[in-house]
Amino acid sequence: MPHGHCYLWKPGLVWTHVITDSLIGLAYVAISITLYALIRKIRLPFSTMVLSFGAFIAACGVTHFMEVWNLWRADYWTAGLVKSLTAIASVATAVWLAKLAPQIHQVFVSSQLSEQRREALELANQVLKQRTDELGSMNLALAEQQKLLAHSAKMSALGEMAGGIAHEINSPLGIITIRANQLERLQARGALSEDILAREAALIASTAKRIGAIIQGLRAFAREGANDPVETKLVVEIVEDALVLCQTRFKSNDVQLEIEAIEEGLTLECRSVQITQVVLNLLANAYDAVLPLVERWVRLIVRRQDEWVHITVVDSGAGISLEIQPKIMQPFFTTKALGHGTGLGLSISKGLVEAHGGTLTLETDAPNTTFVARLPFRARKTDGK
């Protein structure tokens, strides 16, 4: 038994030291190799310090291997040299670690702050998401309210025009009644010829068609229209759809309505119901503005300029005062008496024109009150639509 006197000549004690020193040495070396591999693959903070610590652990492992070696060879000088190197490595590592302690502590504090910031950021993101969801719900509710306001303004305009529309329908109904009675009288006297019958029947059919156009215009105008597809529409048809609902009102109150000739074949890509509402709103505002005046006229002008179609409504008024100009496009602002108008006409019209990629403006330098709806000849997408 090697150096049995050192271990009281007991084999169990000898092999206990051999096995434990061997395992400790192998573990130390394995730890050192693992640290070196990590340094090669991962950029760790204080990597030089980690390598020094690995070298110290490896030296400790070698001292345990020397203990096993000395059981058989008794090479105590070599063992002393290894222990000396291990002592130097351990002392140097301890001193270096003490100097780096403040920096290590700062890294730890920074990591804590980073974790706190990460948690704060996550909390902020959750709050932001909640606010975004709430804002989305509010926007949906606002959009619904805007639709209701637009419909309310439209119904108000129809209410204001109700007298004129009733007259517009009653007049042709009276014509039909008179012509039908005349045909009955001629039939009773036996004086109803084929020529008279054909002429009167054509007149009755034409008058009935006129009533149908008015009713069709009312039905189209009463629709909400926001979900209608964009279509190519003759501008003259858009104007006619608006005129059929308001021209009798102008005539019955001696307001001269002038329509400049519209370029033949001029079209506009739009939601026609909405543009009809814009034209009708502008005409209705002009009508209300000139009623108190001695000179009462309203002029509608449609012209194409490059890629734009300009729909201009001019009235005999001398313009809008500087104090009111900034407010006229605001919702619910009106200069009309209580119960006459909602103050939504221009605001709704502005929104409809802008939804088509255009603008609605007041020409402040014009001699008469002038509003211009500027619409793109080709439809433009706005708000993702």
Which domain covers residue 337, as residue numbers? 140-376
* pLDDT value at residue 204: 84
Average pLDDT in the chain: 79
**385 in a domain, yes or no?**
no
* pLDDT value at residue 302: 94
59 with 195, same domain?
no
* pLDDT value at residue 384: 42
109 with 208, same domain?
no
Give the distance, in angstroms, between the CA of residue 78 and the centroid of all CA atoms in the same chain.
80
* pLDDT value at residue 8: 67
What pLDDT digit, counting tens, does each position of 356-368 carry? 899 999 888 888 9
What pLDDT digit, counting tens, does each position of 216-264 carry? 666 665 555 566 788 898 999 999 888 877 887 888 788 999 999 889 8
Measured between alpha carbons, how far is 143 from 156 in angstroms, rounded to an integer? 20
148 with 115, same domain?
no
Neighbours of 32 (CB within 10 A): 20
Structural domains counted in the chain: 2
**Length in residues, the chain:** 385
Across the chain, which has 385 residues, the per-10-residue mean pLDDT values are: 67 83 86 78 67 80 85 81 83 75 71 76 86 84 68 58 61 80 82 81 80 68 66 90 81 88 90 87 88 91 91 88 75 55 70 89 88 85 49
81 with 197, same domain?
no
As given in the structure block, the two tokens for residue 105 are 């502590």
148 with 105, same domain?
no
CATH for 235:
3.30.565.10
3-state secondary structure 206-217: HHHHHHHHHHHH
**61 in a domain, yes or no?**
yes
* pLDDT value at residue 277: 85
Query: What secondary structure letter does DSSP report for 46?
Result: T
* pLDDT value at residue 375: 93
**126 in a domain, yes or no?**
no
Angle at 134 between CA 132 and CA 136, to 5 degrees: 70
**124 in a domain, yes or no?**
no
